[in-house]
C-alpha cells in the first residue's frame, strides 16, 4: 500500500519582518519545512502521472504470474475537477453601476486573454488539485516601458509548487511575509556534478533578494520593487491543503490491487496446474516435457486407476465486480465525482432529479467550495494587476470593485432561467436589476443590466418618435 498523507504544512516564522539581516536565517528554516512538503508533492505528482504502489507489488505463491494493473482514477479525478471549475475562462465583472468602470473591466478581461491567463489558470488549478497548493507570480512587463507596442503590461506565471513557497508570520492572521521560488542548476566543479540553488525572494516590504543557496547561503542581490503586496501568491485548495484525490489514496490502491488480483486469477486459470493421481511417470519425463508434448500416456499402478486432473479455481467475478463498484462509489462520493451511469430517473424531463441522482450536485458543491477558496488569493493578484494597468496604461481600475465570476454551467436550463427573468420583470415591485441577478442567465449581471436598460431606452425613444411622426402625418393629410 502507499503512503498516508495529511495535507501540506504552512511555513511560518516568528520574525516580524524579513530583512537583509535575517533573510538567510529565515530561508534556511523555511526550506527545511518546504522539503517535507516537496517530498509529498513529488509523490502525489508521480501518483497522478501513473507511478503507483501497485508497480511494487510482489507475490510469494506463483510469482511468475504477476499483473500490475493501474486504473488511474487519480488522473481522472484531477482532470474532471480542473475541467469542471476552469474549463471556461474566469471572467471579471464590475460590482458598481458605472459605465466607465465596466469598460475598464471589459478591457482588463481582454488583457487577461491576450496574456494567456486561461491556460495559466488551468496549470495553477491542476497543481491545486494534485497537491492542495498552487502558486502564481505576477510581475510588470518591463518591455512596455521601452516598447509601447507590447500588448500586455503584466506577466503571469504559474509556478511549480515543488520549487515555490510562501513564508508567513506566526500570528493570528498568518500574514504573508515573503514569496519564494528557486531554480536548481547542475554544475560540474571539475570532479563531480553538484546542484546549485538560487532563491528569488519577494517580501511584503518591497524588498527583493537573490540568495545563493539556503544552507549558509549569502545575498548576492538586493533591490526594491514597487508592486503592492507580494507578487508570489499562494492558492490553497482547502484549509488542510489536501489534494483532490489525497483523501482516497488507500481506496485507489485497493482498486489497483483488486484489478491486479483479478487478472492474476484469469492468468492462473489459463495456466492451471496439472496433478497426476496414482501413476508413475518415466524417470526421464519431466513436467516441462509433458507440457511441450501436449499429451501423456499413463500406466496404472496396481488396482488404482491412473488419472490426470487440472486445478482450476477462479475468483467469483460477480462478487469481485460488486466489490469494485462499492469501492468506486465510495471514491466518487468522497471526492465529489458524478456517476458515469446513463442518468435515467424515470422522468427524463426532470433535469434536477438527474443532477441529484447522478452526483452532479456533489460536484457542484465541491466547485462552489473551490470558488470560495480561490477568490481571496485571486483578489490579491488583482491588486497587483490593477496597479500595473493604472500605472502603465493610465486606466482607472479599482480592485475592490471587481468580482471574480466562474462561467461554469451558465448556459444550462436556459428555458427556466429565461422564464424566471420574464416573470420577475413583469412584477412592478421587483427592481429589474434584481431580476437580472436572480435569473442566473448572465456572467456579468451589471453589464447585462446596463445594456438592457440602454436598449430599452433606445427602443422606447424610437417608438415615441415613430408615434410622433405618424400623428404629424395624420394631421397634415387628414383624408389619407
Q: How many residues are recorded in the chain?
A: 480
* 171 and 216 assigned to the same domain: yes
Together in a domain, 334 and 466 = no
Let me know if residue 184 belongs to a domain: yes
Q: How many domains does the chain have?
A: 3
Q: Is the pLDDT of residue 83 over 80?
A: yes
CA distances from 147 to 56, 140, 392, 446 (A): 55, 13, 12, 35
208 in the same domain as 298: no
Shared domain for 167 and 281, answered yes or no, is no
267 assigned to some structural domain: no
| Rounded-to-integer distance, Cα 295 and Cα 350, Å | 64
Q: Is 148 helix (H, G, I), strand (E, B) or coil?
A: coil
Residues 101 and 51 in one domain: yes
At 280 the three-state DSSP class reads coil
Q: Give the span between the Cα atoms of 268 and 311, in whole angstroms.
A: 10
Last residue of a domain, one of 364, 384, 409: 409
3-class secondary-structure state, position 20: coil
Residue 165 has pLDDT above 60, yes or no: yes
- Same-domain pairing of 404 and 421: no
Q: Distance between the two ends of the chain, CA-based, in angstroms?
A: 94
Other C-beta atoms lying within 10 Å of the C-beta of residue 126: 19
Q: In whole angstroms, give the CA distance from residue 125 to residue 85.
A: 9
Point out the domain boundary residue: 409, 432, 454.
Answer: 409
Please check the confidence at residue 179 and state whether its pLDDT lies above 90.
yes
Q: Are residues 473 and 363 in the same domain?
A: no
Give dist(CA 44, CA 128) in Å, integer.
Answer: 11
Residue 468 in 3-state DSSP? helix
Same domain for 144 and 208?
yes
Q: Which of the four pLDDT bands, split at 50, 70 and 90, describes residue 182?
A: very high
* Domain encompassing residue 466: 414-480
Average pLDDT over residues 224-232: 91
**Pair 333, 376 in one domain:** yes
> CB under 8 Å to 128, separation ≥6 — which residues?
134, 235, 236, 237, 243
Q: Are residues 94 and 78 in the same domain?
A: yes
**280 shares its domain with 331:** no
The reported pLDDT for the residue numbered 2 is: 61
Reported confidence tier of residue 22, pLDDT bands at 50, 70, 90: very high
Asked if residue 392 has pLDDT above 90, the reply is no
For residues 305 and 435, state if they share a domain. Answer: no
Amino acid at each position: 500500500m502507499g503512503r498516508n498523507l495529511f495535507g501540506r504544512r504552512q511555513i511560518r516564522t516568528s520574525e516580524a519582518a524579513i530583512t537583509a539581516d535575517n533573510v538567510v536565517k529565515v530561508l534556511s528554516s523555511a526550506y527545511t519545512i518546504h522539503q517535507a512538503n516537496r517530498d509529498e508533492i513529488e509523490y502525489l505528482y508521480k501518483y497522478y502521472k501513473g507511478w503507483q504502489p501497485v508497480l511494487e507489488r510482489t507475490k510469494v505463491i506463483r510469482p511468475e504470474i504477476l499483473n500490475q494493473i493501474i486504473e488511474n482514477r487519480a488522473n481522472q479525478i484531477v482532470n474532471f475537477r480542473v475541467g469542471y471549475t476552469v474549463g471556461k475562462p474566469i471572467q471579471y465583472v464590475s460590482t458598481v453601476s458605472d459605465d466607465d468602470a465596466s469598460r475598464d473591466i471589459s478591457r482588463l478581461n481582454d488583457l487577461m486573454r491576450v496574456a494567456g491567463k486561461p491556460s495559466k489558470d488551468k496549470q495553477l488549478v491542476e497543481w491545486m488539485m494534485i497537491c492542495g497548493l498552487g502558486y502564481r507570480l505576477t510581475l510588470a512587463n518591463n518591455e512596455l516601458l521601452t516598447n509601447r507596442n507590447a500588448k500586455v503590461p503584466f506577466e503571469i506565471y504559474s509556478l511549480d509548487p515543488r520549487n515555490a513557497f510562501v513564508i508567513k508570520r506566526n500570528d493570528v492572521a498568518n500574514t504573508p511575509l515573503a514569496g519564494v521560488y528557486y531554480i536548481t542548476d547542475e554544475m560540474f566543479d571539475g570532479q563531480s556534478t553538484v546542484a546549485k540553488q538560487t532563491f528569488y525572494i519577494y517580501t511584503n516590504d518591497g524588498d527583493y533578494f537573490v540568495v545563493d543557496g539556503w544552507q549558509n547561503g549569502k545575498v548576492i542581490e538586493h533591490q526594491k520593487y514597487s508592486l503592492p503586496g507580494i507578487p508570489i501568491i499562494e492558492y490553497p485548495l482547502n484549509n488542510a491543503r489536501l489534494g483532490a484525490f489525497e483523501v482516497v489514496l488507500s481506496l485507489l490502491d485497493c482498486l489497483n490491487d483488486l484489478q491486479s488480483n483479478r487478472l492474476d486469477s484469469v492468468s492462473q486459470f489459463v495456466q492451471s496446474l496439472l496433478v497426476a493421481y496414482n501413476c508413475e511417470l518415466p524417470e526421464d519425463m519431466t513436467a516441462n516435457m509433458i507440457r511441450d508434448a501436449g499429451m501423456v500416456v499413463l500406466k496404472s499402478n496396481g488396482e488404482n486407476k491412473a488419472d490426470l486432473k487440472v486445478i482450476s479455481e477462479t475468483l467469483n467475478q460477480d462478487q469481485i465486480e460488486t466489490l469494485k463498484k462499492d469501492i468506486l462509489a465510495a471514491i466518487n462520493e468522497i471526492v465529489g465525482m458524478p456517476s458515469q451511469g446513463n442518468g435515467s430517473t424515470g422522468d427524463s424531463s426532470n433535469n434536477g432529479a438527474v443532477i441529484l441522482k447522478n452526483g452532479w450536485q456533489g460536484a457542484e458543491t465541491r466547485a462552489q467550495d473551490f470558488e470560495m477558496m480561490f477568490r481571496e488569493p485571486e483578489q490579491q493578484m488583482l491588486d497587483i494587476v490593477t496597479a500595473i494597468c493604472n500605472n502603465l496604461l493610465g486606466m482607472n481600475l479599482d480592485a475592490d470593485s471587481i468580482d471574480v465570476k466562474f462561467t461554469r454551467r451558465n448556459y444550462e436550463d436556459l428555458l427556466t432561467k429565461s422564464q424566471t427573468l420574464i416573470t420577475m420583470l413583469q412584477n412592478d415591485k421587483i427592481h429589474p436589476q434584481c431580476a437580472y441577478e436572480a435569473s442566473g442567465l448572465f456572467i456579468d449581471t451589471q453589464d447585462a443590466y446596463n445594456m438592457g436598460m440602454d436598449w430599452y431606452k433606445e427602443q422606447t425613444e424610437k417608438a415615441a418618435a415613430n408615434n410622433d411622426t405618424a400623428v404629424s402625418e395624420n394631421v397634415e393629410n387628414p383624408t389619407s
